[in-house]
Structure 1
Amino acid sequence: MDAPEATREEIIRLILCQLSAYGFANLSQAIATHTKVPMTTDSNSRLAELVKLGQQSERQAGRRTGTGAEIEPKADAQLATGSSGETAGSEGGIDLSRRSQAGTVRVPHFQVWYKTRHKDSATTAAFSRDGRYIATGSADASLKLIEVDKVRDPSAGSARREDKPVIRTLYHHEAEVTGLAFHPNGLVLASCSADHSIKLFDLSAAYGKHSFQSFTDNFAYRTIAFHPSGDYMAAGGDAPEVRLYNVHTGKAYLLAAGSGAGLAQHTGSITQTCYTHSGSLIGSSSSDGTVKIWDGVSGRCVRTVDQAHDGRAVTAVAFSRSGKYALSTGLDSCVRLWEVGSGRLVQTYRGASLSAANEQAVFSHDETLVMAPDARANAVVAWDAASGELLAKCAEHRQRITWIAASPTTPAFMSCSTDECVRYWSPSSV
């Protein structure tokens, strides 16, 4: 039986959300007004994905393809529990066994294109899903919204006020901003803070500087991550439980302990939460030295990596785009790559000094590089993701780097520092 035809309102809503994701929020709102189709901040941006699926069907591809290059050993283990696993990104991804023989990747020559300053330490940053916007947070409790297209304009530093890269400054927290996440539809920015709150800001509002929704608890938040649908947020902080928030109702849930040895709750504070690209798995890292993998549907713990960093605190965790691998950062000054399905250690990246509870390693946009801050050199280091070879150090900050965020679409990244500055880096050829 054929699937029912999409209604007029469903199609228009997809168009509205896609326009907003491309940065045309005002145009989207105008079309919504003209067609009388309500535009809500919690709508999913799926038009591009549906178009891609349609194109694949027309070509009769016969196999799933990924969204980017993938670190791809030949083994394809599934989660031992049999819960909803992730499939590989693409057959053309990086093969660890072959890459070590073929040589390392050529690291781009990163340079600083733009710098902005907060009134206190710059603490966190995030890119929007389409890479068009950057949000930064600070210990001064403020947030900045930056338009990437204006960052690379040589006149950015002296342009007219309306043309400058910082297009909005947001205020509503009472203490340090500790984490940021863009809603998948690009219309909402979420921030968490040491003031015990998570706040949602409407980016489609022309002059709004305050949040329209808040979530509070009795501990400082350190991390937030949106489910790909935008309906839920996984959050954590100075409490041992990972909390799941329904964005529409505001109701909070605790992720549940699983069954079996090691599948219990964390026993220390939560340092980072993340979702896989499909949302089927949630990752969490903790000061208790563990990395945990949670089923995104049942909320139950399905895998624990104990002693992930020789008993030292794990400061961050991030999934590869296919969801087959998890990248952890620890206070043993190592970054480690784990196979999610088996819990096997795949690679260890050494050569950076990691000394703070919020430092994190990230993948580059094509996952050929792994990058992390180096506290000793006030620099960002880059490794070959496959071989683990340290390739480069990028140093411009005068003090310790607190956070790095990689663009999801181009070879670029943001770095934040206790010197109060945020810097945008990319190769000169981009």
Structure 2
Amino acid sequence: MDGSSENTLQDGKLYREVNSLIVAHLRDNNLTQAASAVASATMTPLNVEAPPNKLLELVAKGIAAEKDEVLRGTSSSPLYDLGASMPVAYGSVPAQRTSGVDFSAVQVTKGSSKAFPKHETRHLSEHKNIARCARFSPDGKFVATGSADTSIKLFEVAKIKQMLLSDAKDGPVRPVIRTFYDHTQPINDLDFHPQGTILISGAKDHTIKFFDISKSNAKRAYRVIQDTHNVRSVSFHPSGDFLLAGTDHPIPHLYDINSFQCYLCANIPEVGVNGAINQVRYSSTGGMYVTASKDGSIRLWDGISANCVRSIPGAHGTTEATSASFTKDERFVLSCGKDSSVKLWEVGSGRLVKQYLGATLTQLRCQATFNDTEEFILSIDELNNEIVIWDAMTAEKVAKWPSNHVGAPRWLEHSPVEAAFISCGTDRSIRFWKETL
């Protein structure tokens, strides 16, 4: 076979592979009509086998490779560039994490629920005012809490565990390794850089601040983004080069953390009377992000173009949607609202597939969160001051524990790597919960 024929053969194989990945991607995201059309036009079997999100992973790797060939600029353009194209490196993502549970069958799941393991809990520390938020680092080695007293406490999880095991005779173990003071108003949200030693915070003082947790003497931020609104939520892109800010403005603010240029999407969705964003979270590969709004809506955004691709108006009726986050496989979104419900939505169709009921939540900006394996969902019951746990697949309430806070916790955050979580309270206290072996 000559070189030309061999190239033609290789091109044909490549086209078939690409077509197969496109069909599988559309089919697996429940875009059945589009998948059938492409399959018919390209003579590709509709039931072609391909790993979940393989197309997204390959595109991400390609963009990452292209990024390495482009010299990043340091534009000093205005803060908001409405309709501006996304920076060339935006969308570079790592390979996705493996999901612990196959939620594709969640709507037909029947049978008995799993038992949630017993946990022990310990008071860690107190802020001088309400403890408003908490976040674990991606590797689970650190956890940070933010307060209405404008401070951030950084804990080392290994020292927390040491404290749980220690006796009084061993002397006090201090899990707080640093306290940061640099905001002038209450802190709303935190996030850790996916690879580096950077912690960011969003606050009511309209700023996002960057703290280097590797420097033991650093108490102040080394970089600051000045936004135009109250910064209610922050989320790093999985590449670490970009971050999203959910603010009192109804559109997420996308920042390049190298140039600090801010981008807004061009297709602004319709919003309610108060479209302020309570929470914004990236998916595990950065292919999408989701917002939960005060107008009760959940909105899905394309992680490459930053356009709103799906709105679920009234996801929590006329009450606020207080949190929203993706499952690890990016196919479902878990939301929480002030209608006392936790809900699981299918990303591809926007369809509600599960409701988790039985916990009163009408006042606090709390969130519902998966445990590390996605087998269980945790939230709070304000009325009874309890932590409530559901089996994620059956939606059965499997446990309810006294929170041990004076008043219901304001925030729960589960470790991404182990059976442990943090609760923060209006009583200013921070508690660590760990599975008992």
Q: One fold, TM greater than 0.5?
A: yes
1:350 pairs with one of 345, 357, 367: 357
1:142 pairs with one of 142, 148, 151: 151
Relative distance call for 1:158 and 1:351 in structure 2 (3 A) is farther
Paired residues of 1:113 and 1:152 also in contact (CA < 8 A): no
Task: State the distance in 2 between where 1:301 and 1:79 align.
Answer: 21
Give the superposed CA RMSD. Answer: 2.6
Paired residues of 1:129 and 1:186 also in contact (CA < 8 A): no
The alpha-carbon deviation at position 99 of structure 1 amounts to 4.2
Residue 381 of structure 2 is aligned to residue 400 of structure 1? no
Paired residues of 2:289 and 2:301 also in contact (CA < 8 A): yes
Paired residues of 2:100 and 2:375 also in contact (CA < 8 A): no
Q: Which residue of 2 aligns with 1:13?
A: none
Task: State the distance in 1 between where 2:33 and 2:291 align.
Answer: 18
1:155 pairs with one of 158, 166, 170: 166
1:31-430 map, 5 Å: 76-78=29-31, 89=98, 93=102, 95-96=105-106, 99-101=109-111, 103-153=112-162, 154-155=165-166, 163-257=173-267, 263-264=269-270, 268-356=275-363, 358-395=365-402, 396-429=404-437
Relative distance call for 1:88 and 1:214 in structure 2 (3 A) is closer
Task: State the distance in 2 between where 1:91 and 1:188 align.
Answer: 27
The alpha-carbon deviation at position 100 of structure 1 amounts to 1.8
Task: State the distance in 1 between where 2:131 and 2:97 align.
Answer: 36
Relative distance call for 1:219 and 1:108 in structure 2 (3 A) is same
Give structure 2 stretches of 5+ with no counterpart.
Answer: 1-20, 22-26, 36-52, 58-95
Q: Does 84-93 or 221-230 show the bigger shift? A: 84-93
SS across alignment from 1:106: coil
Q: Give TM-score, length-normalised by structure 1.
A: 0.76
SS across alignment from 1:100: coil
SS across alignment from 1:228: coil
Q: Which residue of 2 aligns with 1:23?
A: none
Task: State the distance in 2 between where 1:333 and 1:254 align.
Answer: 32
- Cα offsets for 1:258-282 (capped at 9, x unmatched): 6xxxx44675111000000000101
SS across alignment from 1:140: coil
Letter in 1 for 2:262: A
- Cα offsets for 1:212-245 (capped at 9, x unmatched): 1111123211100000001111111222221011
- Cα offsets for 1:179-232 (capped at 9, x unmatched): 000000140000011111110001121210100111112321110000000111
Relative distance call for 1:97 and 1:313 in structure 2 (3 A) is closer
Relative distance call for 1:235 and 1:416 in structure 2 (3 A) is same
Q: Give TM-score, length-normalised by structure 2.
A: 0.75
Task: State the distance in 2 between where 1:423 and 1:380 align.
Answer: 12
The alpha-carbon deviation at position 374 of structure 1 amounts to 1.3
Task: State the distance in 2 between where 1:131 and 1:99 align.
Answer: 31
Q: Which residue of 1 aligns with 2:14?
A: none
The alpha-carbon deviation at position 257 of structure 1 amounts to 2.1
Task: State the distance in 1 between where 2:252 and 2:331 align.
Answer: 21
Relative distance call for 1:328 and 1:353 in structure 2 (3 A) is same
Relative distance call for 1:242 and 1:92 in structure 2 (3 A) is closer
Paired residues of 1:269 and 1:287 also in contact (CA < 8 A): yes
Task: State the distance in 2 between where 1:81 and 1:206 align.
Answer: 54
The alpha-carbon deviation at position 89 of structure 1 amounts to 4.5
* Higher radius of gyration, 1 or 2: 2
Q: Which residue of 1 aligns with 2:46?
A: none
SS across alignment from 2:158: helix
Task: State the distance in 2 between where 1:415 and 1:133 align.
Answer: 15
Give structure 1 stretches of 5+ with no counterpart.
Answer: 1-63, 65-73
Query: How many pairs are equivalent?
Result: 351
**Structure 1: which 4+ aligned runs deviate by more than 6 Å?**
79-88, 156-159
Letter in 2 for 1:398: V
The alpha-carbon deviation at position 80 of structure 1 amounts to 9.1
The alpha-carbon deviation at position 90 of structure 1 amounts to 5.7
Letter in 2 for 1:310: G
SS across alignment from 2:250: strand
Paired residues of 2:296 and 2:319 also in contact (CA < 8 A): yes
Q: Does 86-95 or 141-150 show the bigger shift? A: 86-95
Paired residues of 1:128 and 1:186 also in contact (CA < 8 A): no
